[in-house]
C-alpha cells in the first residue's frame, strides 16, 4: 500500500481509537452517577448535530472536513482537559457530559475529514473506489473496537482521573500528528474549480446513497439501545451474552468489509436484516440467539460500504462528493443517537414491558429492509439530480 495511504489510515485508526475510548469511559461514568441510558443517545446526537448546524450557518461549508479544523479542535480539547484537571472538576456530571459531547463532535469531524481525504485518493487513482471504501470502514471498526476495549480496561485499572490525564496527552499528540496529513494539493483544487465551471448545472446528487447510510445508522442505534434492554430485562441473560452478541455483529461487519459483494447486495442485506432481527427476538436459547447478530452486522455494513462505494465511483465533481459524504456521516450519527433514544423515552413513558424493545428492533428491521428494497429496486447506478441544496 502507498505510504501516504498507510499513514492516513493509521492516523484514522488512532483517532477513532482515542474518541471511542473516551466515549465508553464517559458514558460508563455518567451511567454510574445517573443510572440513565438517555445520555448515551444525547451524547452521540448532539456531537453530530453541532457541526452539522454550524456547517449550514457558516458560509465556508467545507470547514468541518479540513485538516486545520480537526487539528484545532484537538488542541482545544487538550486545553479543556488541562482546565478540568486544574480545577479538579472530574467528578462533576455536567463537565463529564460536556467532555463526552466534545469528544463525539471531534470524532464526527475527524471521520468526515478522513472520508473526504479518502475520496481524493480515489480521484487521484491511488486506490480503487471499492477497496477504499472497505479499507476505510475496516479501519474505523478496528479503531472503535480496540478503543472501547482499551477505555474499559484503563478505567478499571487506573481510575477516572488518570484517564483524563491520558486523553489530554493523547489529544495534543493527535493534534500534532494531523499536521503530517496533507490537504488537497493546489493543482487539484484548481482542476476542481475548472471542473465545477465545466459541469455547472449537471451536478449529481446522492440522496439515495445518503438515505441508505442513514438507515444503517438507524439500525445500529436500535441494536445498541434495544438489545441490551431486551437481553438483560426480558431474557434475563448476563453481560457475557450481550458481549458475545456485539462481537458476532462485529465479525459479520468485518466479513462484509473483507469479502467480495454479490451483485444483489441490497436484496441480500434486506433479507439478512429481517432474518437477523426476527431470529434474535424469537430464539430463546442465548447462544443461538446471538448467532443471528452476525447476519445483522454483515447486512448493515454491506449497505454502508456499497452506498459509499457508489458515491466514490461517481464522476460528480469533488465538492459534490465531499458534500454527500459529509451529509451521510452527519445524518448517520444524528439518527443512530436520536431515534432509538426517543423510542426508549416513549416505551418508558407508556410503561411498555421489556419485550417491547425486542419488538421495536424487529419493526426497525422491517422498516429498513422495505426502504432499502424500495430505494434500490429500479436502478443499477443510484444517483438523483438536485437532492439537497448547498
28 contacts 285 by C-beta, under 8 angstroms = no
Contacts of 155 (CB under 8 A, 6+ apart): 24, 25, 28, 29, 163
Residue 261 Cα to chain centre, angstroms: 21
Residues of the chain short of pLDDT 70, as ranges, are 1, 35-38, 40-41, 59-65, 182-205, 378-390
What is the domain class of 204-385 according to CATH? mainly alpha
Cell of 294: 452476525
Domain residue ranges of the chain, discontinuous segments joined by +? 3-184, 204-385
The pLDDT score that the predictor gives to residue 267 is 94
Report the pLDDT value the prediction gives residue 362, as an integer from 0 to 100: 96
Q: Mention every residue, 6+ apart, whose C-beta is less than 8 A from residue 30.
A: 36, 39, 93, 96, 97, 100
Residues in contact with 26: Cβ distance below 8 Å, sequence separation at least 6, in sequence order: 43, 96, 97, 99, 100, 103
Report pLDDT digits (tens) over 276-321: 999 999 998 998 999 999 999 999 999 999 998 988 888 778 778 8
Q: Please give the pLDDT value at position 59.
A: 63
Tell me how far apart the alpha carbons of residues 150 and 152 are, in angstroms, rounded to a whole number: 6
Q: Could you identify the residue written with the cell 489530554? A: 168
Beta-bridge partners for 384: 205
How far apart CA 352 and CA 358 sit, in angstroms, is 11
The three cell numbers of residue 120 are: 481524493
Q: What's the gap between Cα 347 and its chain centre?
A: 25
> Which residues 6+ apart lie within 8 Å of 254 measured at CB?
138, 141, 297, 301
Q: What pLDDT shows up at residue 190?
A: 44
User: pLDDT averaged over the chain?
Assistant: 82
Phi, psi of 348 (to 5 degrees): -70, -45
pLDDT at 35: 66
What residues pair up with 205 in beta bridges, in sequence order? 384
CATH number of 3-184: 1.20.1250
Same topology, domains 3-184 and 204-385? Answer is: yes
Do residues 267 and 297 lie in contact, with contact meaning Cβ atoms separated by under 8 Å? Answer: no
All residues at 6 or more sequence positions from 258 whose CB lies less than 8 Å from its CB, including other chains = 134, 138
Length of the chain: 390
Report CA-CA distances (Å) from 23 to 75, 107, 346.
18, 10, 25
Nearest Cα to 26, choosing from 72, 73, 81? 81
The 3-class secondary structure across the chain, one letter per residue, is CCHHHHHHHHHHHHHHHHHHHHHHHHHHHHHHHHCCCHHHHHHHHHHHHHHHHHHHHCCCHHHHHCHHHHHHHHHHHHHHHHHHHHCCCCCCHHHHHHHHHHHHHHHHHHHHHHHHHHHHHHHCCCCCHHHHHHHHHHHHHHHHHHHHHHHHHHHHHHCHHHHHHHHHHHHHHHHHHHHHCCCCCHHHHHHHHHHHHHCCCCCEECHHHHHHHHHHHHHHHHHHHHHHHHHHHHCCCCHHHHHHHHHHHHHHHHHHHHCCCCCCHHHHHHHHHHHHHHHHHHCCCHHHHCCHHHHHHHHHHHHHHHHHHHHHHCCCCHHHHHHHHHHHHHHHHHHHHHHHHHHHHHHHHCCCCCHHHHHHHHHHHHHHHHHHHHHHCCCCCCCEECCCCC
Would you state the pLDDT for residue 183?
A: 58
Question: How confident is the model over 100-142, as pLDDT tens digits?
Answer: 888 888 888 888 889 888 988 888 888 998 899 989 988 988 8
Amino acid at each position: 500500500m502507498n505510504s501516504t495511504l498507510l499513514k492516513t489510515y493509521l492516523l484514522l485508526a488512532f483517532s477513532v481509537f482515542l474518541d471511542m475510548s473516551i466515549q465508553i469511559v464517559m458514558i460508563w461514568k455518567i451511567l454510574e452517577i445517573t443510572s440513565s441510558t438517555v445520555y448515551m443517545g444525547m451524547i452521540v446526537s448532539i456531537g453530530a448535530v453541532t457541526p452539522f448546524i454550524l456547517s449550514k450557518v457558516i458560509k465556508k461549508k467545507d470547514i468541518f472536513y479540513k485538516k486545520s479544523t480537526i487539528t484545532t479542535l484537538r488542541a482545544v480539547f487538550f486545553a479543556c482537559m488541562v482546565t478540568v484537571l486544574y480545577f479538579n472538576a472530574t467528578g462533576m456530571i455536567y463537565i463529564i457530559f460536556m467532555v463526552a459531547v466534545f469528544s463525539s463532535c471531534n470524532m464526527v469531524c475527524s471521520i468526515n475529514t478522513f472520508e473526504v481525504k479518502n475520496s481524493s485518493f480515489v480521484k487521484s487513482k491511488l486506490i480503487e473506489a471499492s477497496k477504499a471504501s472497505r479499507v476505510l470502514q475496516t479501519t474505523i471498526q478496528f479503531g472503535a473496537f480496540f478503543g472501547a476495549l482499551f477505555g474499559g480496561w484503563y478505567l478499571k485499572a487506573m481510575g477516572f482521573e488518570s484517564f483524563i490525564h491520558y486523553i489530554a496527552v493523547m489529544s495534543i499528540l493527535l493534534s500534532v500528528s494531523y499536521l503530517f496529513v496533507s490537504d488537497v494539493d493546489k493543482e487539484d483544487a484548481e482542476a476542481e474549480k475548472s471542473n465545477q465551471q465545466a459541469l455547472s448545472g449537471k451536478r449529481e446528487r446522492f440522496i439515495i446513497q445518503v438515505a441508505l447510510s442513514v438507515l444503517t445508522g438507524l439500525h445500529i442505534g436500535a441494536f445498541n439501545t434495544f438489545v441490551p434492554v431486551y437481553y438483560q430485562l426480558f431474557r434475563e441473560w448476563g453481560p457475557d451474552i450481550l458481549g458475545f452478541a456485539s462481537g458476532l455483529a462485529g465479525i459479520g461487519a468485518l466479513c462484509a468489509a473483507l469479502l467480495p459483494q454479490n451483485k444483489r447486495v441490497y436484496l441480500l442485506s434486506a433479507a439478512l436484516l429481517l432474518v437477523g432481527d426476527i431470529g434474535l427476538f424469537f430464539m430463546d436459547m442465548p447462544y443461538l440467539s446471538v448467532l443471528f447478530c452476525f447476519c445483522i452486522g454483515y447486512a448493515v455494513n454491506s449497505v454502508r460500504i456499497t452506498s459509499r462505494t457508489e458515491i466514490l465511483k461517481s464522476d460528480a465533481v469533488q465538492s459534490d462528493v465531499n458534500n454527500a459524504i459529509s451529509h451521510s456521516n452527519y445524518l448517520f450519527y444524528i439518527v443512530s443517537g436520536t431515534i432509538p433514544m426517543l423510542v426508549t423515552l416513549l416505551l418508558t413513558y407508556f410503561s411498555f414491558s421489556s419485550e417491547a424493545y425486542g419488538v421495536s428492533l424487529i419493526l426497525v428491521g422491517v422498516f429498513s429492509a422495505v426502504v432499502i428494497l424500495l430505494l434500490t429496486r429500479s436502478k443499477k447506478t443510484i444517483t438523483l439530480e438536485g437532492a439537497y441544496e448547498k
